[in-house]
Amino acid sequence: MAAGVLGVVFVAALAIFFSIHEVKEGHVGVYWQGGALLPSITDAGYHWKLPYTTFRNVFVKMQTDKVTDIPCGTSGGVVLYFEKIEVVNRLRRAHVYKTIKNYTVDYDKTWIYDKIHHEINQFCSTHTLQEVYIDKFDQLDEALVSSLQAGCNNNAPGIEIIAVRVTKPVIPNSIRSNYEEMEREKTKLMVAQQTQLVTLKEEETIAKREVIEALKQKRVSEINGRKLIAEKQTEQKMSEIENKVFLDTQKALADAELYTAQKEAEANKKIFSPQVYLILA
């Protein structure tokens, strides 16, 4: 009897031990009973579950899914492939139950891995090799973010697409050598253009200096001219003043001599008048 009780206690203790589980930091715990997903969600820490209940850790922080070896064919029929495309994404906690119920814990396979393959093939099939490899490559990451998020918003709104990083696609060696040669020629052209621009800038600088120097010389000449004119005008005024002083002096002397002569004439007239003459006689 005692052995039976101990056996039951041991089995119960064992069941309790295996029912205790850990939910890791950055995850939430999700549970199934009989294959049916339960709506209860647990946060990080230790929790207890019934023995016949299964659980999984589901990551709800930012994560990076790396999609590799993605083949695609351009509109011109050239086959190339992308070695790696990284998608930074996050599953919002509030949408964990609904997302996993609809798409299982491998939800990112449907809405990230498979979706990337689909979008890359759509992009390549409507563009030329030149556009895929050069002209529109810098726009591809933003286009993928928009298309991935649009698909998630319509079908799995709990998935947030944060960023996409696209590596340069691998193209056939013969074609790549042509592009490398084009890049070398483009680099030479850019260097030549920059050299030409530098030369033009130097010539413009020299021309501006010459203009500034000419303006400076012109201003100096104008200042010197005005100074010379002012000196001539001053000399002329001084000469006029001296002439006026001389004329005034001569006039004063002439007036004085005339006044003296007039006075002498008046005196002589009085001396030799008839009345004076009769008295003297």
Question: Structure pTM?
Answer: 0.59
Predicted pLDDT at 134: 86
- Tell me the HSE value of 168 on the side-chain side, using a 13 A CA sphere: 9
Tell me which residues of the chain have a pLDDT lower than 70: 1-18, 179-184, 270-281
Predicted pLDDT at 152: 96
Q: How are the residues of the chain apportioned to helix, strand and coil, as percentages rounded to the nearest 5?
A: 65, 20, 15
Predicted pLDDT at 182: 67
Predicted pLDDT at 247: 79
Please give the backbone phi and psi of residue 179, each rounded to the nearest 5 degrees, phi first: -65, -40
